[in-house]
Every structure is written in structure tokens, then in C-alpha cells.
Amino acid sequence: METAMHKRNTLERGLAWLGGHWARLLLHAIMIVISMACILPLVWIVSSSFKPKEELYAAVPTLFPTRPTLLNWYWCVSIMGPVLMYLKNSCIVTLGGMLLQISAATLAGFAFARLQFRGRDLLFYAILGFMFLPRAGGLMASYEMMNFLHLRNSYLGLILAFGASLSIPVFIMRQAFFAIPRELEDSAVIDGANTSQLFWHLALPMASSGVVIIGIFAFVDMWGDYLFTWTMLDTEKLYTVAVGITTTIGWSAEFQRQQVSTYGANSAAYLISMLPVIIVFIAMQRWFIRGLTEGILKF
């Protein structure tokens, strides 16, 4: 009797292990398929930037170039348009807006998390409500306001507009400051620290993961913005890279007389615009993951 029960328990454990093993294999297979689906477009655009014109329009396309060339990159950087100027404009607008957004979000997040004042929660939820309003929905109102304030066609206008997008950054920083133990703040107050010292020497260093998170989000959002930037700019010398690379469409006739194509040159231009975002994320991913695991995004 005991031997039969032992065999039965052993069989059940074996089936459970086998079921779990196949479940893990299935999960890994699904994850691999999803990863390949996400990576394939990036691999294709990298490959296309190194393909000559005849390979791009071959009857049977290949994933990798058989005769790689740098002609698309040369055309993109040297002939097709002032790409370096677009990159400089993007750096100015993105870094300026990111610094402004981080500064405002950290100060506001600390005030909403640690200071007591009348209407604090009501004001916070009012700011949070703007999170659910798409930027395109208020595009005409933003255009009229920027035009009235003479901020269109300027770095300052774009920096102020991007820096004023504070709903999500304030929410993240508020939660980051909430995660700091109250006992540490009480100890610092007993030692004679004022509000400014609490912020600079205690709260801000301990909430550095939240600062990195909103910095990454701000950089990606501002660097890749097209609709708002295109609406607010009329002067080509102020175009950011997201807007500037779209001017390659006008070179189609010239491409017909060269050994490059619109598709290949566009692929090189898109990669140039993507590289800063990829580099920033790779450099800061340790902080980003650390912030997520510490519960920065928990409400």
C-alpha cells in the first residue's frame, strides 16, 4: 500500500515537473518570437542603410547586404541636408527642456510629498489630470499661445513648452520622495536642518533613481517629438533631427540620377536620429531598472 502511494506521489511530482518544464519552454519560445519581431525592423533598417540601390529594389530582397556600401551614409551627412545642424538643434532643445523639466518636477514632487499647505492634494490631482490629455488635442491652443507670446520659431519656446510637460514627472518624483523614511527627515530636523537642506542634502540624493527615470523619459520624448515641433517651427535652420530628416522626401528626383535611393538614405538618417537615444538608454539602464525595482512607479 505504501509502495503504491509512493509511486503515485513520485509520478505526480514527475508530471508536475514535466508540465512546468514544458511551460517554461513555451514561455521562452514566445518571448524569443516577440523579441525577434521587435528586433527585425531595427536589423532591416541597419541593413538597408548599407545596401546599394540595386539591392534595395531587387526582386528577391535579402536581409543582409551582399555588397555593403557607405554611399547612403555619405549622401545623408554630406549632400542630402544639414544633418549635423539638425542634431545640434535637437541637443539644445532636448537638453534644455530636460533640465527644466527635471528641476521643476523635483521641486514640485518634494513639495507635494513633504510639505503641508492648503489645497496640496487638490492641486496635485489637477496636475495629474493633464496626464490623460493628449498633446495633439491642445495643439491649436498651444500654437495660438506660443504665437501670442512670440515664442514660435525659437529655441526658448520649444524648451519652455517641453519643460512644462510635468504631469508624469511630478507624479514619479512625488512617489520617489514618499519612499524616503520619515525617520531620516525627523533626525535631520532635530540636528537643525531646514527645508532647503532637507531637499538638497537628504531627499534629492535618495531620490536620484527617480531623477534618472524622468530624465530618460524626457530625453526620449523630446528628442523624437515631431508633430509639436513641426507645428511650432517655420525656419529650417531651427529644425530638430526628427523634423529635418523628413526633408529627404524632396530629394527623390535627385536620387534617380545617383547610385543611392530615398529608402537607403532615409534609413541612414533614421539611424543617426536613433543613436543618441539608444546610447543614453544603454548608459543609464542600470539606474532605470533600479528605479523601477525600488517602486518608483507605485501609487
63 occurs within a structural domain: no
105 occurs within a structural domain: yes
> Mean pLDDT throughout 8-36?
68
**pLDDT score recorded for residue 104:** 94
Residues 180 and 275 in one domain: yes
Residues 164 and 264 in one domain: yes
60 occurs within a structural domain: no
pTM strictly above 0.85? no
**pLDDT score recorded for residue 217:** 87
Residues 105 and 238 in one domain: yes
> Mean pLDDT throughout 233-246?
86
Residues 167 and 106 in one domain: yes
Residues 99 and 202 in one domain: yes
Give per-residue pLDDT as tens, 132-185. Answer: 877 777 788 889 999 999 999 999 999 999 998 888 899 989 988 988 888 888
Residues 219 and 115 in one domain: yes
64 occurs within a structural domain: no
298 occurs within a structural domain: no
Residues 160 and 18 in one domain: no
| Domain range for 120 | 74-293
Residues 172 and 273 in one domain: yes
Give per-residue pLDDT as tens, 42-97. Answer: 888 888 888 887 787 777 778 888 888 888 887 777 765 677 888 899 999 999 99
The CATH number covering residue 289 comes to 1.10.3720.10
The number of folded domains in the chain is 2
58 occurs within a structural domain: no
Q: In terms of Cα–Cα distance, which of 203, 198, 197 is closest to 180? A: 203
User: Residue 4 — very low, low, confident or very high, per pLDDT cuts 50/70/90?
Assistant: low
123 occurs within a structural domain: yes
pLDDT of 15 > 90? The answer is no
Residues 196 and 155 in one domain: yes
Last residue of a domain, one of 32, 49, 66: 49
**pLDDT score recorded for residue 236:** 83
Residues 135 and 280 in one domain: yes
230 occurs within a structural domain: yes
Residues 205 and 116 in one domain: yes
**pLDDT score recorded for residue 263:** 73
Residues 104 and 187 in one domain: yes
